[in-house]
Copies of this chain bind each other. A is one copy, B any other.
Amino acid sequence: MENEDAIAIENVWPELDCGKFSAKAIMGDIFRVKADIFTHGTDMISADLKYRIRGDRDWESVPMNQGENDSWTGTFELTVTGSWEYTIEAWVDSFATQSRNIEAWIRGGESIESDLKVIISMMKSISLKCNRKDSAFIGKKITMINKSDPADVPEILNDPRLKTIVREHQDRKGLTVFSPILNVNVERRKAGFSSWYEIFPRSQGSKLGLSGTFMDCEKMLPYISSMGFDVLYLTPIHPVGISERRGKNGARNAQPGDPGSPWAIGNSTGGHDAINPDLGTMEDFLHLIESAGKYGLEIAMDIAFQCSPDHPYVTSHPQWFYHRPDGTIRYAENPPKKYYDIYPLNFDTEEREELWNELKRVILFWAQKGVRIFRVDNPHTKPLDFWRWIIENVKKEYDDVIFLAEAFTRPKVMYELSKLGFSMSYTYFTWRNFDFEIREYFSELSSPPVKSHFRPMLFTNTPDILPPILQNGGRPAFMMRSVLAATLSPLWGIYSGFEICENEAVPGTEEYMNSEKYEIKFRNFDAPNNIRALITKLNSIRRSEKALQSAGNVEFHQSDNSNIIFYSRQSSDGGDTVMIVVNLNPYEIHSATVRVPIQSLGVGSSEPYKVRDLLTGDLYVWQGEYNYVRLIPGERPAHILKLER
């Protein structure tokens, strides 16, 4: 007759795949754990949420509170970054049960003589276990009980100090501990809240056709910083391959002077740990990191684990690549497409251990130089277990490293990369245009299990993605999409040129015409159609509104016109609610009656209230749930509203 659990602890949340993966959180978060906890019969239960920083020996405990339908909740504060462990412990609380019974007998007009004897004997045995002061306190309580009218006993037993002493020293009958121990991975604030600006360093020059340098990048810092961004993401800065180099618009044969795709990494001057000499020196790069920091910008680096045919690995470690039957190295293929300028690495090579360790060395090399944010190119084409291993091991040395997954792939693979350790992930946002698409997708991202691990990074555009809505909708579409990106997630970004509404595509594709991937650009950011003011405003609102800094909190509300989407966000600590209304149609003025979540605003059903548009400063007087909005593309494409108290 083995001793099984006396108490059921089930449906624990967060809990990913039976504890195989960690939940995610941000330092300073109040972490909330829920569970169903119950046992047979009518005895009362008490439960503790236990937690510790991984590696610590001792657990901290905090009492959990019982809610409806046997559901319990406990919280604790995540005070440092790193991996935390938590579990739940529950027991039959004989003292609480006996107290409740005494109350019930009294209400039923029954004698409690025998039950008093039982509870006094419990108190006596506890008083033997605690310190002198507490023991004296219990003794006083026993005297009170003996002297008092039975009707007054419940109040005596209901003393908070008495309960605390009892909780600490009582025999935890039927003690049951949830297994397995669960984990939450706590990262620094930027992993959960940041605004990104992406550039090709070589396009930051001042002379047409000449490669810009890190020093040129420094000149751009005031401009980028003035819009309120706090991460500056650089496309790869390494030497670019020469063999099979691609020309303008990705043509197979480059012309002399074509700079090649920076993702075709490596040539005779070096590989993943080297710097393209056209951009400058390592010293220049370190200087850029430092200068950026002064402007509140942190550098994010691109990690693309693939090689040009000229990469040093090709000769030093040919075994790290795939080979054809004739012994030649295989370029990248996704039948029927061929990428002649790229050799993929064979992560399952017989020299797997050497290869993996070398790639870890590359990341640690840059981390040591001061780069702590890595945007990982196409992680879904490399083994899942590789990422789990390398992220875990890099974080062991630098626990402030942030990884962004650029995995435009099937949803389950995308989520898996997040579960196994990526801090944040690109999403399908660029292709979600209609009301129902946005509602469905962001509801999924705001629901369990996704919300407990997946942090959506919303780029409005990337060097690979100029979505049809921007190609066709022009400036009003750029405005509308930037409002959505900046308010649907605490993580958003733009790829340089977005703010001047660059939107010429290779016809029938999502590729930019004359893509910066294959040539050096020279931009006039003061172009009259720029939407810099709007972007600056959006970043400023994001900085001031806590609700926009939390993930997984997007809630959609009714709108009677599907051109107008309406959603709100509230931070988990119950702070101010921010409401966002966007006209999704860049071509037409639309109006709608929207249903305001007045409960979450704390407004009565017929009470008038004022809402302030944070974009314009305008004040509207609304009343009740249903209110009217009218939004004009290119002028006032959206409201970002907050109750005026």
A101's nearest neighbour on chain B, judged by CB, is: B335
CB pair B70–A412 under 8 Å, yes or no, is: yes
Contacts of A385 in B (CB 8 A): 3-6
A319 interfacial by beta-carbon distance below 8 Å: no
Number of copies: 2
Residue among A100, A336, A338, A352 having the largest count of chain B Cβ atoms under 10 Å: A336
The answer to whether the Cβ of A268 comes within 8 Å of any Cβ in the partner chain is no
Is residue A334 contacting chain B, with contact meaning CB distance below 8 A?
A: yes
B38 with A8: CB separation less than 8 A: no
Q: How far is the CA of A1 from the CA of B357 in the complex (A)?
A: 9
In contact, B70 and A336 (Cβ under 8 angstroms):
no
> Would you call A69 and B336 a contact (CB within 8 A)?
no
Contact A336 B411 (CB under 8 A): no
Would you list which residues of chain A between 348 and 367 have a CB under 8 Å from chain B?
348, 352-353, 356-357
Which of B36, B118, B337, B413 contacts A38 (CB under 8 A)?
Answer: B413
A151 at interface by CB-CB < 8 Å: no
**Would A384 and B8 be within 8 Å (CB), given that A38-B412, A411-B69 are in contact?**
yes
Please, which residue of chain B has its CB at the minimum distance from the CB of A334? B42
Contact with B along A324-353 (1 / 0, CB 8 A): 111000000111111000000000100011
Contacts of A41 in B (CB 8 A): 380-382
Q: Which residues of B contact A382 (CB under 8 A)?
A: 40-41
Residue of B with least CB distance to A379: B40
Report if A617 contacts B (CB, 8 A).
no
**Is A316 interfacial (CB 8 A cutoff)?**
no
Complex Cα distance A3/B385, Å? 8
Assembly CA distance A152 to B485 (angstroms): 49
> Contact at B326–A114, with CB atoms within 8 Å?
yes
CA distance A348 to B174 in the complex (A): 10
Contact with B along A67-106 (1 / 0, CB 8 A): 0011000000000000000000000000000001100110
Contact of A336 among B6, B110, B334, B335 (CB under 8 A): B110
* A410→B70 contact, CB < 8 A: yes
Contact A335 B69 (CB under 8 A): no
| Least distance between A35 CB and chain B CB atoms (Å) | 11
A336 B8 Cβ-Cβ under 8 A:
no
Q: Is A368 an interface residue (CB 8 A)?
A: no
- CB neighbours of A337 from chain B (8 A): 108
| Interface flag for A416 (CB, 8 Å) | yes
Q: Does A18 count as interface, using CB distance less than 8 angstroms?
A: yes
The answer to whether B110 and A384 have CB atoms under 8 Å apart is no
Question: A41–B416 Cα gap in the complex (Å)?
Answer: 13
Assess whether A336 is in contact with B108, with CB atoms less than 8 Å apart. yes
List residues of A (1-53) whose CB comes within 8 Å of B's CBs: 1-6, 8, 10, 17-19, 36, 38-42
Q: Which residues of B have CB within 8 Å of A333?
A: 101
Asked if residues B1 and A356 are in contact (CB atoms below 8 Å), the reply is: yes
A121 touches B (CB below 8 Å): yes
- Select from chain B the residue with minimum beta-carbon distance to A324: B114
How far is B176's CA from A385's CA once the two chains are assembled, in angstroms? 12
A388 is contacted by which of B4, B114, B357, B381 (Cβ under 8 Å)? B4
Is A133 an interface residue, CB under 8 A from the partner? no
Is the Cβ of B6 less than 8 Å from the Cβ of A17?
Answer: no
Q: How far is the CA of A107 from the CA of B114 in the complex (A)?
A: 88
Can you list the 8 inter-chain pairs with the closest CB atoms, starting with the nearest? A108-B336, A104-B335, A18-B18, A4-B385, A117-B325, A101-B335, A70-B412, A41-B381
15 contacts between A and B (CB under 8 A): A1-B352, A1-B389, A4-B388, A8-B416, A10-B412, A10-B416, A38-B410, A38-B412, A39-B384, A39-B413, A40-B413, A70-B412, A100-B335, A104-B335, A110-B335
Other A-B pairs, 10, CB within 8 Å; known A10-B17, A118-B325: A1-B353, A4-B388, A8-B384, A10-B412, A18-B19, A40-B381, A42-B334, A100-B335, A114-B325, A117-B325
